[in-house]
């Protein structure tokens, strides 16, 4: 017997005692440790990319849930505490938006962040409840946790319009080769792999000689999928060098206008001049098309011909200006209304394409509106106002669309956080015209110099990999960039920097598997993993 063989039982004993100690701690300590672990999980995501902390976070979560096995509510509250830590650490930057008008909203910053985090944590609470009551005994519980987590993330991304921010699959962006797996199973599928990998150290903490073989099989399976994804992703990156659309050179304008000045009365004309001056700066004669960000101007170009004439000055000869701008429609009074009833306005947050003859050639209206930013949910019952200027709620558009514009490949416009929704960034089967690129116009100036704009950009990059489409992203203040269809950044303008970004438009790849079947691919994989979780279970010992 070697020295290593003699030391192994002692080492295993220490690991088992550690697991028992974590699983057996008191209620307050368990909830506090779960919240701390949730905060660690956020650090594994962009922009920190401290992915080793993911091992700490999810192994701790699993051990804590092991300690409440069979108990529904303790499992729920353990998962909820983990989520509270995760979302509070990951979404703290939302509070910054309340200080744009500090006198009116500043006092709501902390309660709003904590309230949102507590609400979103219900989804992780459900993970804890299901894990505690239904997970198989032994190493299969690692795979079960991964499936439960992704089901909860999918629900979070769809219920009540959805909020799929900071999906755990975004941790794959730290390793570009691994991130390519999103082209097959999307970000939800990469999250399933991420949770399985991060919780895998718990496989070392399974007691009993008879448990070693299932644990080795489970660990080997996770490692094989991880390595296989990495090798495939490496080959994919090497096989696809970035190609560009001939004859197209874009200029993205990032005016970096302070959000406190953005909608201040009397400054609309100045902001328009700022965009025009940046656009027509050095190199303007070399670009073919110009992109301005979300609500770059405060005017209504459809109703104001003189504004369209001014905007035409920003259009290269024969090219286009694609800009964010508000749009209004007037709804006639319903039949039977009293005489003198005024038409009612419907306001849209839109993208418009304008040519050098001041003609609007295409319009897209934002469909996924931001609660309390663009509309007030249940306005009749809700006492809280919008954070943004104006008392009228925006009207949602019909959904994803593909615009066919002269001189450019077809484009799928995405306004602000519409880019965070996996599988919902193109018109899909609703059109026979596949877009040639994703266009994300946004204004992250609400959130200052925080992690928020970086998280938003990371999510948009994942949509590019999922769909096999390049991404063009213009931000008022945020991160403006051109990204190829494998998520590689071709050109980038940093947060809080005023300027322009000139670059080519990468060409699209053929539709990925995820682009063809959407979340159906991760559903199939999840079902297979769930079956394996129970096949790899360890029967309970009989006394």
Is 238 an annotated catalytic residue? Answer: no
Judge whether 254 and 240 are in contact, CB under 8 Å. no
Residue recorded with tokens 């650490």:
89
Q: Tell me which of 153, 374, 386, 416 is the catalytic residue.
A: 416
CA pair distance 151, 165, nearest whole angstrom: 15
Paired tokens of 394 = 């925006």
Inter-axis angle of helices 182-199 and 52-66, nearest 10: 60
What ranges in 106-211 are assigned the alpha helix state H? Answer: 109-134, 140-156, 176-179, 182-199
DSSP E strand stretches across 225-371: 244-254, 289-291, 320-331, 344-355, 360-365
CA distances from 123 to 74, 337, 421, 536 (A): 15, 46, 17, 26
Q: Which residues contact 28 (CB under 8 A, 6 or more apart)?
A: none
CA pair distance 409, 406, nearest whole angstrom: 8
Judge whether 469 and 440 are in contact, CB under 8 Å. no
Among candidates 366, 324, 331, which has minimal Cα distance to 346?
Answer: 331
CA distances from 311 to 40, 233, 323, 540 (A): 47, 43, 10, 72
Is 366 an annotated catalytic residue? Answer: yes
Judge whether 251 and 285 are in contact, CB under 8 Å. no
Q: Name the 3-class secondary structure at 62.
A: helix
- Provide the 8-state DSSP code for 371: B
Paired tokens of 148 = 């439960």
User: b vs e for 40-68, b when ≥16 Cβ sit within 10 Å of the residue's Cβ?
Assistant: bbbbbbbbbbebebbbbbbbbbbbbbbbb
The vertex-177 CA angle with 173 and 183, nearest 5°, equals 80
Paired tokens of 21 = 């100690």
Is 386 an annotated catalytic residue? Answer: no
In this structure, the number of other CB atoms found within 10 A of the CB of residue 428 comes to 17
Q: Tell me which of 153, 262, 366, 374 is the catalytic residue.
A: 366
CA pair distance 347, 328, nearest whole angstrom: 4
* Residues assigned a catalytic role: 294, 366, 416
């Amino acid at each position: 017997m070697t020295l290593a063989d003699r030391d192994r039982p002692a080492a295993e004993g220490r690991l088992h005692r550690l697991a028992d100690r974590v699983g057996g701690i008191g209620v307050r300590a368990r909830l506090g440790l779960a919240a701390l672990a949730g905060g660690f999980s956020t650090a594994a995501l962009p922009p920190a990319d401290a992915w080793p902390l993911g091992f700490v976070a999810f192994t701790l979560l699993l051990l804590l849930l092991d300690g409440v096995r069979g108990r529904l509510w303790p499992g729920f509250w353990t998962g909820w505490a983990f989520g509270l830590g995760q979302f509070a650490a990951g979404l703290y930057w939302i509070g910054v938006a309340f200080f744009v008008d500090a006198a009116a909203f500043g006092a709501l910053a902390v309660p709003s962040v904590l309230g949102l985090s507590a609400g979103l944590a219900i989804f992780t609470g459900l993970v804890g409840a299901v894990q505690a009551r239904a997970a198989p005994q032994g190493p299969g519980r690692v795979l079960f946790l991964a499936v439960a987590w992704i089901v909860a993330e999918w629900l979070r991304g769809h219920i009540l319009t959805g909020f799929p921010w900071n999906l755990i699959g975004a941790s794959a962006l730290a390793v570009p080769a691994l991130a390519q797996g999103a082209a097959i199973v999307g970000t939800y599928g990469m999250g399933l792999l991420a949770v399985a990998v991060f919780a895998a150290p718990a496989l070392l903490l399974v007691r009993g000689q008879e448990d070693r073989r299932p644990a080795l099989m489970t660990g080997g399976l996770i490692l094989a999928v991880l390595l296989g994804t990495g090798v495939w992703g490496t080959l994919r990156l090497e096989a696809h060098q970035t190609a560009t659309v001939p004859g197209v050179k874009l200029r993205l304008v990032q005016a970096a206008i302070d959000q406190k000045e953005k909608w201040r009365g009397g400054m609309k004309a100045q902001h328009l001049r700022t965009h025009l001056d940046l656009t027509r700066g050095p190199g303007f004669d070399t670009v073919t098309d110009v992109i301005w960000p979300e609500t770059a101007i405060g005017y209504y170009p459809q109703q104001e011909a003189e504004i369209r004439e001014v905007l035409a000055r920003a259009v290269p000869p024969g090219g286009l200006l694609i800009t964010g701008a508000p749009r209004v429609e007037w709804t006639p009074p319903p039949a039977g209304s009293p005489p003198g009833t005024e038409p009612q306005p419907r306001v849209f947050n839109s993208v418009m394409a304008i040519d050098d003859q001041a003609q609007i050639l295409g319009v897209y209206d934002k469909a996924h509106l931001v609660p309390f930013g663009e509309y007030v949910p249940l306005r009749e019952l809700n006492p809280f106002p919008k954070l943004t200027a104006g008392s009228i709620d925006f009207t949602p558009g019909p959904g994803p669309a593909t615009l066919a514009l002269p001189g450019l490949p077809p484009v799928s416009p995405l306004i602000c956080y519409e880019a965070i929704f996996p599988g919902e960034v193109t018109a899909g089967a609703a059109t026979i015209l596949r877009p040639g690129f994703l266009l994300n116009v946004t204004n992250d100036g609400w959130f200052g110099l925080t992690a928020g704009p970086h998280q938003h950009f990371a999510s948009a990059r994942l949509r590019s990999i999922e769909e096999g489409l390049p991404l063009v992203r213009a931000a008022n203040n945020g991160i403006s960039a051109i990204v190829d269809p494998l998520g590689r950044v071709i050109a980038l303008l940093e947060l809080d920097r005023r300027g322009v970004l000139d670059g080519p438009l990468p060409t699209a790849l053929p539709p990925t598997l995820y682009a063809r079947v959407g979340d159906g691919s991760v559903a199939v994989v999840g079902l297979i993993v769930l079956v394996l979780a129970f096949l790899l279970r360890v029967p309970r010992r009989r006394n």
